[in-house]
Structures are given as C-alpha cells and as structure tokens.
C-alpha cells in the first residue's frame, strides 16, 4: 500500500474523448494536487479506469471522490485506500555502468528488489521494477549514487482486494455520441 499521507481514488469512466480533460479541469478548478494519475482500458472496451493518488494532508480523498462522481461520463468512484488494496508502480531507470564496479553494484542492488536488468551496454543499463511505490522509491534512492541518467514511471495503479469493489451495472448502456464525418453527423454507440 501507499504511504499513510496519500490516498488513492479509482474511477470508472466512459472511454470517450474529453473525459481526461474534464477530470483535469476539475482538479485545476478545485486546486487539488495530483501525485499520480494513471488511465487505462478495462476488460470492457467502452470503459477506462483512472487511478488517482493525492496528498491526504492537502485534501480529503472522499471530497475528491464526491466531486469526480458528479462529472459527466464518470460511472463509479471509490476511495480504495480506505479498504485493503494492492497497488503497483512501474519504473524504467537508466543508470551509468561504465566500469565493472558500477555494473556489479547495479546487479547487487537489483537482487535485493523485485527489479531486473532489461538492457545493459558498455556505458548504461536499464533497470525495470514493478512494485509498491515505496519500494520503487527505495530502489531509486540506492541507484542515485551510481548515477541515474534517465527515468520514467507509469504512476500507481490500484485494485481493491477480495470481491470487486468497482463494477458497471449489468444494465449500464454507454451513451450515444455524435461525430462529424464529412459534414454529416452520425450517431454511434461507444
């Protein structure tokens, strides 16, 4: 789980253009600071899942969840950090390995974490880690003295443990939207 000073909100949204913009605008208007925002498709092609991590010291996660639920195209919202949940963050970290000592140090560090070397050359190596956010941070801190050249992280994804806590009702129908093709409006389901 993520540190106690962070809260994780998960939202199911319609997979349509403009939904992420509406969510981002909500955060901007309300002056909410986002620590991490991850969006991905679900097993249903017309639904995406957003995982939003916020600093609990600055804003209550329940307030964010309530505001999100009011938005058009939002199907369901849960504050997953109030229940047992699993979270993961993926990072690719490029570090200097221009001598045998640094290559050995990187290998030893990776053995202590759920990390692996996915590419190694004469000057740099790329490390991959998928773990809880605090474990990823700890690996980054250990690699910094060796020399981090470049890094990218996906952001946190989270899922409640046990029975599914977010779902779409069986009778849920995606809304009909219009698109303009060659000057003609055509309706289609998403």
Residue ranges per structural domain of the chain: 1-85, 86-153
CA–CA separation, 152 vs 63, rounded Å? 30
CATH of 1-85, one of 3.40.50.300, 3.40.190.150, 3.30.70.260, 3.40.1160.10: 3.30.70.260
42: left (phi over 0), alpha (psi -120 to 50) or beta: beta
- Of residues 179 and 83, the one with the higher pLDDT is 83
In terms of CATH, what superfamily is 86-153?
ACT-like. Chain A, domain 2 (3.30.70.1150)
Identical topology for domains 1-85 and 86-153: yes
How many helices (H) and strands (E) are present in the chain, helices listed first? 4, 11
DSSP bridge partners of 11: 50, 77
Inter-axis angle of helices 19-30 and 61-69, nearest 10: 130
pLDDT over 70, % of the chain = 84
Token pair 């969840």: residue: 65
State the chain's mean pLDDT as an integer. Answer: 86
Q: Which one, of 72, 33, 83, lies nearest residue 56 by Cα? A: 33
Q: What is the pLDDT of residues 14-35, one digit of tens each?
A: 999 999 999 999 989 988 888 9
Q: What is the pLDDT of residues 50-96, one digit of tens each?
A: 999 988 787 888 888 999 999 989 999 999 988 899 999 999 999 99
pLDDT of residue 2: 43
């Amino acid at each position: 789980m993520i540190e106690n000073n962070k809260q994780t909100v998960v939202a199911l949204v319609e997979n349509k253009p403009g939904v992420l913009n509406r969510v981002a605008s909500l955060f901007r208007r309300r002056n909410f600071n986002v620590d991490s925002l991850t969006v991905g498709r679900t097993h249903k092609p017309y639904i995406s899942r957003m995982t939003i991590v916020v600093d609990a010291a600055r804003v209550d996660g329940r307030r964010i969840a309530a505001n999100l639920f009011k938005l058009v195209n939002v199907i369901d919202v849960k504050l997953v950090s109030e229940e047992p949940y699993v979270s993961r963050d993926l990072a690719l970290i490029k570090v200097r390995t221009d001598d045998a000592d640094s290559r050995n140090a990187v290998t030893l560090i990776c053995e202590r974490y759920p990390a692996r070397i996915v590419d190694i050359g004469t000057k740099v190596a790329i490390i991959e880690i998928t773990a809880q956010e605090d474990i990823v941070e700890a690996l980054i801190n250990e690699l910094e003295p060796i020399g981090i050249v470049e890094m990218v992280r996906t952001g946190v994804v989270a899922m409640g443990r046990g029975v599914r806590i977010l779902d779409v009702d069986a009778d849920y129908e995606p809304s009909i939207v219009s698109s303009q093709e060659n000057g003609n409006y055509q309706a289609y389901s998403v």
